[in-house]
Chain A
């Protein structure tokens, strides 16, 4: 994922001689890594400016070298970029928990709906899927197949063109039967398709989901920020799922979406198969990409 070249930069920093020049060098390299990972350019500039400012203004606490202290600042700022230090909450706080998946065309919503259904089913919940994509040819068959593969029922009305009504009826159908988690798949749409955005708003307005999940492809570039803002404006995004991290894409666009919506990344998709979904923990992730085994220890001293 993002910043897999960071480890090298950190090592160079640690091994370099002169502190001031190595800070500058580090910041420059970090910028490059972030841009290469598709983090929004403006966000990158803000982040590195902030790191430089803190490094210039704050004083290291006693007992800590300037270098370690600088790395702890970088760590903190990066964790913030990922939405902050808390672990994501994946357990449904209430029942039924209604999840609405939204996102661009082909981002992986339908596949992720199947994966989430499987994930929650394994956790012991009764899960239902609602096929509210009436736009893409074969969308119902796709979700139906995935539902069958994981043993989760799918509500759909093949042939119907009314996504809003399917969503409403589907949620009602599973609610009445006492299901715990209800996952609604919707058609792909982009930030300039006003009709489709209105449809999404309509679905959200009628269904009142407990969580709107923005599904983002790891390969999305600089548009991620704008896309996420637009979705967020129409239907406030509660969490983000980044798909297709098994490719070479770094997923930095998702970080821009975090900044644009204030939502957190909850899961990441790492393959086409139904079990290729992982819970995402920003702190662990940042520590790992910085390649600092004893980072926790270091941070305790800060």
Chain B
């Protein structure tokens, strides 16, 4: 048994060795050589899916994960911090309320030798807006009016509304990767093949080999001079899996060095007890919450027995009854942690606004409290609640998660839950057309700022379309976005969370942790599992 596995390892190692030679040869012929760092190639496995490499044509986690390695940003989050700093820029600041000026570092180059100048930056954002691809992130640039490049290293963004505190964050979002104007088309998406062949890369890594959704090979790019510093490992291979159990077996058997996103809770739990691997985790940006439709929920505005007070009592009772610890432990085995606010822990301004007012006041459930809340509002008899979840969008455990929530609500005797699930496309349509009284949603942030957890949800016109309307909250959200003083802004953000916690537009209950499983010789994983929610391969080393 043992000999078989060591033999396999040896074969793999020797193969990797010859491949590395081939890669180096290929790299030399290309004109640029890798960095001076040592160590053999690191193989990372993931169940992410890439759609397109072109930043104008994709708005998904899998593609963005690749872009983060190979494209530079004007603003980016350094290791270990949720807040953005200039990346390939020397400085970035508001030079007037509606003008955001970025100064690039001088002498920047792309991996293909082209100069990276302000003209490329202007090109990047102009094409993002012009192409406005149906799968692209152009809508994030909602506040961008125009871009100007007065000289080679200066870029001036003219904004529609003044003092936008979120704009620097947007420059680090999926709308922000800087591309080469000599390789990319100004009017349409550029194919992955052309991007790879044109070596239009200027991030920590360049792609040397691209086998779509199967295998991507990276080589450190020594021309990167941004905030993250040079990549610590020269060679990275990323294998794409479709099935997390195969990923788990490969990391367990030592066929790959790192498994990142997404192993099931059972897998991670099992690997924690395995000496041959390390399980490393960090804060995650993903949150799960139950949305209430203010029109159609029990006692909602459009129901026959409409009564705002009773409706609020129903939401409060749900918040009282949910046992977050039980869900996190039983269903997710600690790969998700209880969430007591709208902004997840780890981000600047995060509170625990729901902890004190609901349940036992310590995060646990309290059936008596829920009962008295309902009685006080005059709700008699069990409340009938239709609860929807998506069985195919938020991972394989949603079914178990919601079966448990149903059980928690029903075992109090206060609710009769009618649990239903619908496939994702129909779900997305139904949830915004008032079909679901209460339903599951999750959120993956576009950028690491509390704003991204508030603006989309609690403005009067929001992404949830759940008819939540609190003018005070609406004004506060608009205000924090233009408050230039950080401390003042944080205070407002905390205030917003408290206000929404009283209204319970949604009941947040889980926050996903980022979990990577690595071989024992891999170091640096914890450096990149930070609140930027960007997994940088450049932090990893293999001893």
Do A and B interact? no
Interface residues in chain B, defined as those with a beta carbon under 8 Å from any beta carbon in chain A: none
Interface residues in chain A, defined as those with a beta carbon under 8 Å from any beta carbon in chain B: none
